[in-house]
Every structure is written in structure tokens, then in C-alpha cells.
Amino acid sequence: MEAVKLIAEYNDLGIAGVIDHERFNLIAIDHHSTRIEGSTLTEVETQVLINEGRTPNGKPIEESLMVTDHHAALLFALENAKAKKSLDVLLLQSINSLVMKRTGKVYNTILGTVDSATGAYRKGNVTAGVSYFPNFDKVERLTKDLVKKLNDAMRQPLTIEKQLSLSFDAHFNLVSIHPYYDGNGRTSRLLMNYIQAYFGLPLAIVRSENKAAYIQALIDTREREDINIFRQFMVGEYTDMLKLEIAKFREMQKPGKGGGFAFLF
């Protein structure tokens, strides 16, 4: 698997140890994940917002709140992963509640009121485009079953390839259960990153410019009941990300780049 070789090269080069690399990598995750969900902030605007707290001019405040809430959820997920905290339903709900903290809505249903900022399960049926998700009365059981299967798998000795596949499968399965009214995509991508961080792997990014292909991979996987479709899409995203990071690092090491200083006159 090419991704496994790239991870080894990535680690051998010490890219993760470069000053500020992790911070900028996390900002890239925030940027792309929220862009997929409708944010129009550029990567530079996202960077200034996260680092300096300055909201961009001319953009809806809700988009800035979406980004800063995602960043808090990402930090929370990674903190728990690095502490080797076992995955459970409460952890997932906490991630979702952080994602939706300041942009969540209240849904009034015949079964009661649900505040989507709390990480509560949905109490109604939902669709997204051509996708229909499980009935709301199955959501709690399906989520618990998924968490148990993931925990059982994470306790086993896994190859790097299987660790990656597990993270991609978790992403697909949680977003396909769609347990919450809002923030399912972001929460599912954060679950993927949680598992990757748990195993000490570089974190995957679904690039916002590939949103259409991403959604199509989810749809095709459900329709054909073939998880390999989504796995292949994510492996492609992951290997492209690693290649880009490695190329940027090697370019930085060239004389006159990061390895030295060249006066521009």
C-alpha cells in the first residue's frame, strides 16, 4: 500500500516535528471540513481567525463560529486520542456538541424538543440529497454497536494499513447512521482523525475542492454496499496529502529555502 510507504517517509523526514507544523495542519483540517459544510472562509482567513481571533470582513458571523467551534472539537478529539481514551458514545456526543456549540438549532418534534448543540440523538428521519438515513428509532442502537465494534478493533494489534482502513470505515459508518440533526459530516471526519491520532498516524484531510467526488463516493458505497469504494477514495485523498507535505518539506530543505536565507534583491 503506497500510503504505508509514504507514512514511513513522512515520519523519517520528521515533518511532524517541524515548528508550527501541527498548528497549521489542524487549521487546514478546520478549513476544509467547514468549507465542505458551506463556509466561505479562505484558508488565510481561517488561519487569522484561529491564531488571532479576527473575524473576516464581509462574511457571515455564523461561518466564523462554525470554524472556531470545529477547531475546539478537533483539539478535544485529539487530546482524548493521544491520552488513549477509549471511544464511547459520550465522547462522540461531546465532539458533536462542540462542533455545533454556537450554530446549533432547536428542533421541535412530536417526540420532544432536541437542541442540536447538545449532541443529542435526532428524533426524526432525515435525508441528504439522494441519501436516506436509518429511522431515528434505530440511531441509538446503531451508534452503540458502531462504537463497540471500533473499540474492539482498536484493542487488537493492527497493521498500519488496517488502522487506516478502520479510520475510514468509522468515518463512513457514522455519517451513514447520521445520528444527529446537524454536524454529522464534521463529527464523522473528526472520528476518523481521532482514530488516526490514537494510532499516531498523520491526520487525513478531505479537501473541499473534492467535495463532489467525496459525496459521490459516500453515495456509491451505500448503493453498492461496498466499503472499498469509500476506502479507495480516502486512500487517494490521504496519499495525495502525504505526497504534498513531503514535497513541501523537501522544497523547504533546499538551499535558499528553509535550509538557508536568500535576500530578495
CA-atom Rg of the chain in angstroms: 19
pLDDT confidence tier of residue 251, bands split at 50, 70 and 90: confident
The yes-or-no verdict on residue 1 having pLDDT over 90 is no
The yes-or-no verdict on residue 257 having pLDDT over 90 is no
Q: Does domain 2-245 have CATH number 3.40.1010.10?
A: no
Task: State mean pLDDT over 126-131.
Answer: 81
Q: For the whole model, what pTM was predicted?
A: 0.95
What pLDDT is attached to residue 21? 85
Q: What is the pLDDT of residues 187-245, one digit of tens each?
A: 999 999 999 999 999 999 999 999 999 999 999 999 999 999 999 999 999 999 999 99
Residue 152 cell numbers, joined: 474492539
Distance CA 144, CA 99 (A): 20
Q: If you write DSSP's letter for every residue of 208-245 in order, what string do you get?
A: GGGHHHHHHHHHHHHHHT-HHHHHHHHHHHHHHHHHHH
What pLDDT is attached to residue 260? 54
pLDDT confidence tier of residue 128, bands split at 50, 70 and 90: confident
Residue 214 cell numbers, joined: 467525496
Q: Which residue has the higher pLDDT, 249 or 217?
A: 217
pLDDT confidence tier of residue 66, bands split at 50, 70 and 90: very high
Structural domain boundaries in the chain? 2-245
SS3 181: coil
Task: State mean pLDDT over 86-114.
Answer: 95
The yes-or-no verdict on residue 62 having pLDDT over 80 is yes
The yes-or-no verdict on residue 65 having pLDDT over 90 is yes
Task: Give the residue from 173, 202, 199, 198 showing the smallest Cα distance to 187.
Answer: 173
Distance CA 187, CA 99 (A): 7
* 96 Cβ contact list (under 8 Å, min separation 6): 73, 119, 179, 180, 183, 184, 187
What pLDDT is attached to residue 148? 97
What pLDDT is attached to residue 104? 96
pLDDT confidence tier of residue 265, bands split at 50, 70 and 90: low
| Sequence-ordered strand ranges (E) for the chain | 106-109, 112-115, 127-128, 131-132
What pLDDT is attached to residue 261? 57
Q: What is the pLDDT of residues 31-47, one digit of tens each?
A: 999 999 999 999 999 99
